[in-house]
Amino acid sequence: MTERAIADAPPSAAARAPAPSAASGSHPSLVLLALAVGGFSIGTTEFAAMSLLPDFAPDLAIDEPTAGHVISAYALGVVVGAPVIAVLAARVARRTLLVGLMVLFALGNGLSALAPSYGTMLLFRFLAGLPHGAYFGVAALVAASLVPRERRSQAVSRVIAGLTVATVVGVPLANAIGQLAGWRWSFGLVALLALLTATLVRLFAPLGAPAPGASALRELGALRRGQVWLTLATGAIGFGGLFSVYTYLASTMLSVTHASPAAIPAILAVFGLGLTVGNLACAWAADRAQMPAAGLTLVWSAAALALYPLATGSLWTLAPVVFLIGCGGGLATILQTRLMDVAEDAQTLAAALNHSAFNVANALGPWLAGLAIAHGLGLPATGWVGVALALGGLAIWAVSFAAERAAPRPCGQAL
């Protein structure tokens, strides 16, 4: 980083975070890899649970729309857990917190694999969701502390890449295991991955002592900033379109496309490939023009989701559209870095809340899509629900962008 870049960089907590200690003896790439394994385990359970709806619904004696509540229970756990854990653990060393979160995540998924009823499954999925947002939030801060400011988004994208690679490898694998050996084994696999993550983080990550003056009260200060709320709302609404389609993708393939169950893992992998490409491309763009990148990503998502109802008749048309929809998932990385900029010294809570927002989307998208299906609009209509949500997110982004441009800026700070 040049002297001029250092002088111009805002004194955010992420920028002030210390580099890995020499005592850790670990290269930043090893730290990012360890954090990405956690993203892989979280991504596998989050998305595989959606694709396994047709498998666990009969076993728990419920229909598929009701089984969708299991997805919402996990999302609710993320929404609740992210802010609560971030505030209560404000003075806990980051490595210690990450290890504890992964142990809790392993417990929730292990219990999910053993759930004897619909009610217990709801409870255990809620438990599994509690550490999700706090893990990604703290992991993003650790990743950002390892690199110069102008490469933060790309470092964060490497952590989130664990989640996107999970949609290419982990989710199809979990889905295949669910079909061959039973859905319970898929959740058991995730529990093992979580324990592996806890071990790797303990071995490679720097301790990451809390910033001087860190406290629950200071973290709550993030909630006083309008741009924090606008950024969270952009993700909560705009990202819902992706989930409205993805949740019912397997059911759409079986009932509308009339594809073989064996084709489901392949299409899920196509979606994951799009998510991976979008994550990398959006991170590159965000390090150069953050807010325009977010707006263009939402426009992309709306356009891709509009194609979905027209593409469900054949696997040959469905596959490329699912890839395009997946590319819109790169919005997560952009908004994660955006929150680092607008949260000032309340970094942990804001970073964790990003995943609460996305899991509001995870609950809202499937719920609205389920209403459309229940009212007889058909499974392809989930695409139109997605378009409405993407455009809603775009409208909130426009308000945020306009407010930022209208706000007075410190002397010398570029627009």
Reply yes or no on whether the pLDDT at 224 is more than 70: yes
Residue 11, domain member (yes or no) = no
19, burial (CB in 10 Å: exposed 0-12, middle 13-18, buried 19+): exposed
Residues 6 or more apart from 363 whose CB is under 8 A from it? 71, 72, 75, 76, 79
3-state secondary structure of 212: coil
Query: Could you give the C-alpha distances from 24 to 21, 34, 145, 267, in angstroms and in order?
Result: 6, 13, 15, 41
Q: Is residue 412 part of a domain?
A: no
Rounded distance, CA 2 to CA 10, Å? 14
Residue 290: predicted pLDDT: 85
Closest CA to 378 of 255, 268, 281: 255
Among the listed residues 141, 205, 167, the one whose alpha carbon sits nearest the alpha carbon of residue 336: 141
Q: Provide the pLDDT confidence category of residue 15 given band limits of 50, 70 and 90.
A: very low
Place of tokens 């499937």: 366
- Share of residues in the chain with pLDDT > 70 (%): 87
Are 132 and 77 contacting, i.e. CB atoms less than 8 angstroms apart? yes
Angle separating helix axes 347-374 and 331-342, nearest 10 degrees: 140
Which pLDDT value is given to residue 263?
A: 87
Higher pLDDT, 178 or 302: 302
- Calpha distance 299→311 (Å, rounded): 19
* 14 belongs to a structural domain: no
Kindly state the average pLDDT of the residues 246-250.
87
226 within domain boundaries: yes
Q: Residue 245: name the closest of 297, 294, 293, 311 by CA.
A: 311
Q: How many domains does the chain have?
A: 1
Confidence check: pLDDT of 167 > 70: yes
**Statement: residue 65 has pLDDT above 50:** yes
Residue 2 belongs to some domain of the structure: no
pLDDT of residue 410: 52
Of the candidates 381, 128, 346, 147, the residue with the CA atom closest to the CA atom of residue 241? 381
Residue 211 scores a pLDDT above 80: no
322: left (phi over 0), alpha (psi -120 to 50) or beta: alpha
Position 322 scores a pLDDT of 95
pLDDT above 80: residue 219: no
Q: How far apart are CA 301 and CA 293, in angstroms?
A: 12
Distance CA 321, CA 253 (A): 13
Share of the chain above pLDDT 90, in %: 29
Please give the pLDDT value at position 222: 62
Q: Other C-beta atoms within 10 Å of 27: how many?
A: 12
pLDDT category at 383 given cuts 50, 70, 90 is very high
Whether 189 maps to a domain, the answer reads: yes
Residue 174 has pLDDT above 80, yes or no: yes
**Which residue has better confidence, 408 or 96?**
96
- Residue 154: which pLDDT band, with cuts at 50, 70 and 90? confident
Residue 169's pLDDT is what? Answer: 84
The answer to whether the beta carbons of residues 372 and 363 sit under 8 Å apart is: no
Q: Where residue 315 sits, what CATH number does that domain have? A: 1.20.1250.20
Q: Say what the pLDDT of residue 57 is.
A: 79
Phi-psi region for residue 2, left (φ > 0), alpha (ψ -120 to 50) or beta? Answer: beta
Q: Is 215 helix (H, G, I), strand (E, B) or coil?
A: coil
The answer to whether position 17 is within a domain reads no
Structure tokens at 185: 């084994």
Q: How far apart are CA 411 and CA 178, in angstroms?
A: 58
Instruction: Give the gyration radius of the chain's Cα atoms.
Output: 20
* 375, part of any domain: yes
Regarding pTM above 0.85, the answer is: no
What's the mean per-residue pLDDT of the chain?
A: 82
* Distance from C-alpha of 334 to C-alpha of 290, rounded to nearest angstrom: 7
- Give me 137's structure tokens: 């939030």
Q: What is the pLDDT of residues 18-46, one digit of tens each?
A: 444 433 456 888 888 999 999 999 988 87
Dist. CA 40–CA 90, nearest whole Å: 25
Across 78-87, 207-216, 239-248, 269-278, least confident range: 207-216
Find the domain containing 373 and state its range.
25-404
Residue-wise pLDDT tens digits, 338-376 = 887 887 766 777 777 887 788 788 778 888 998 998 888
Q: Which of 48-52, 82-86, 183-187 has the lowest mean pLDDT?
A: 48-52
Would you state the pLDDT for residue 389? 96
Joined tokens for residue 8: 């111009």
Residue 310 has pLDDT above 80, yes or no: yes
Has residue 179 got a pLDDT over 90?
no
Beta-carbon neighbour count of residue 2 at 10 Å?
A: 9
